[in-house]
Amino acid sequence: MTKQEDLQTVASSFQSFLEELHSKYNSLQDGSVANYIPELAKVNPDLFSICIATINGDVYEVGHYKELFTIQSISKVFVYGLALEDHRRDYLLTKVGVEPTGDGFNAIILDEKSKRPYNPMVNAGAIATTSLIKGSDATERLNRMLDMFQRYTAHNVFVDISVFTSERITGHRNRAMAHLMLHFGMIEQNIDEALDLYFQQCSVMVNCHDLAVMAATLANKGINPITGKQAVDSRYVKDILSVMYTCGMYNFAGEWAYKIGIPAKSGICGGIIAVIPGRMGIGVFSPRLDSRGNSVRGVKVCEELSQQFGLHLFDCSGNQLNLDS
Ligand code: GLU
């Protein structure tokens, strides 16, 4: 068999594996969709897709991978990258910490001593991060943010106005956090504008294919494997992946790091991105959530992929999946 034929065989058996994985967990109906933002409760709970993009730009996908949904908290990862580019690490660390917290993602709490929000993956930290995005006015800040997302997805992205409006109307906890941070000087600009930009970033529409390509971009030193263009300065990829690893999966982050061992971020939309540095990005979408806010099927799929292919960062078994050589 030539090397080319060999690779094709690996690719087609990997695609079959994904199809089997999808049908195995398709019958799992545990959990329920997020409903604290009324517009989100309208999602079809049965949607389910798994996508994997390699750093060479090959994409394996199964299920409803074209179905659009709002990115929600997964946006925090990418906006953190933009804020790092805008301000550099040392300044950002004075405004947002990098400590995991056992509190809920929407806890109205700051670090007692420093008055910083704990990390950029919880809402307070994300709102502070978003408030730092540069731009001469709200429109320029929004456009810079959308441009950033477009570098990762390789196509135009849009804000879902219904979800944005629903978030804006019901986001009282987020407003409370912003006021607390304004009081302690952690947010300086107009907080209504910062909150609007935060609600807009959560309401950016993506599909599961996009999630995998975005994750693969982080796996590929910040270079989008489809366009070959730099989406984020490679110097900051390790900062982004570190906070994903320690804080990305709500109050399951520790157990996730222990069992699954991959930098990841989930959102209450039911999406999960997971990054295997130097190899591939995983996207899973299934809106039914467990009590911590993570997609039930998404966690199962990532757990099985990690075990089957030795994807845990600290796995030394030599059992790693290789789709590229
Ligand atoms: N827009 C959501 C909020 O701030 C983000 C929730 C999430 O995905 O964790 O409540």
Per-residue pLDDT 10s for the chain (325 aa) are 787 778 788 888 999 999 999 999 999 999 999 999 999 999 999 999 999 999 999 999 999 999 999 999 999 999 999 999 999 999 999 999 999 998 889 999 999 999 999 999 999 999 999 999 999 999 999 999 999 999 999 999 999 999 999 999 999 999 999 999 999 999 987 999 999 999 999 999 999 999 999 999 999 999 999 999 999 999 999 999 999 999 999 999 999 999 999 999 999 999 999 999 999 999 999 999 999 999 999 999 999 999 999 999 999 887 677 776 5
Q: Which of 166, 202, 204 is the pocket-test mutation for ligand 1 (most atoms within 8 Å of CB)? A: 202
Sole residue written with tokens 């695609």: 15
3-69+206-309 has which CATH code? 3.40.710.10
Ligand 1 neighbour 73 (Cβ under 6 A): yes
Q: Which atom of ligand 1 is nearest to the CA of 72?
A: 8
Ligand 1 neighbour 166 (Cβ under 6 A): no
pLDDT of residue 231: 98
Q: Pick the closest to residue 203 from 287, 292, 296, 269 (CA basis).
A: 269
Question: Distance, CA 36 to ligand 1 centroid (Å)?
Answer: 10
Q: Pick the closest to residue 308 from 320, 295, 323, 325 (CA basis).
A: 320
Which residues belong to CATH 3.40.710.10 in the chain? Answer: 3-69+206-309, 73-202
Ligand 1 neighbour 105 (Cβ under 6 A): yes
DSSP class of 251: G
**Residue 34 half-sphere exposure, CB side, CA atoms within 13 Å?**
23
Q: Which atom of ligand 1 is nearest to the CA of 266?
A: 8
**What burial class does residue 310 get, using C-beta atoms within 10 Å of its C-beta: 0-12 exposed, 13-18 middle, 19+ buried?**
middle
Cβ(57)–Cβ(324) below 8 Å:
no
Question: Distance, CA 322 to ligand 1 centroid (Å)?
Answer: 35
Q: 59 - beta bridge partners?
A: 53
Does the domain made of 73-202 have the CATH classification 3.40.630.30?
A: no
Q: Which atom of ligand 1 is nearest to the CA of 167?
A: 1
Ligand 1 neighbour 75 (Cβ under 6 A): no
Side chain identity, residue 127 = I
Q: Which atom of ligand 1 is nearest to the CA of 36?
A: 10
**What burial class does residue 80 get, using C-beta atoms within 10 Å of its C-beta: 0-12 exposed, 13-18 middle, 19+ buried?**
buried
pLDDT of residue 223: 98
pLDDT of residue 318: 72
Structure tokens at 37: 């933002």
Distance CA 63, CA 57 (A): 19
Distance CA 255, CA 261 (A): 9
Cβ(168)–Cβ(199) below 8 Å:
yes
Q: How far is CA 86 from CA 53, 129, 168, 204, in A?
A: 28, 11, 26, 21
Ligand 1 neighbour 72 (Cβ under 6 A): yes
Q: Which atom of ligand 1 is nearest to the CA of 267?
A: 8
Ligand 1 neighbour 295 (Cβ under 6 A): no
DSSP class of 171: -
DSSP class of 268: T
Cβ(264)–Cβ(222) below 8 Å:
no
Ligand 1 neighbour 267 (Cβ under 6 A): yes
pLDDT of residue 47: 98
pLDDT of residue 325: 52
| pTM for this entry | 0.96
The number of angstroms, rounded, from the C-alpha of 173 to the middle of its chain's C-alpha atoms is: 21
DSSP class of 42: G
Length of the chain: 325
Cβ(322)–Cβ(73) below 8 Å:
no
Q: Which of 205, 268, 285 is the pocket-test mutation for ligand 1 (most atoms within 8 Å of CB)? A: 268
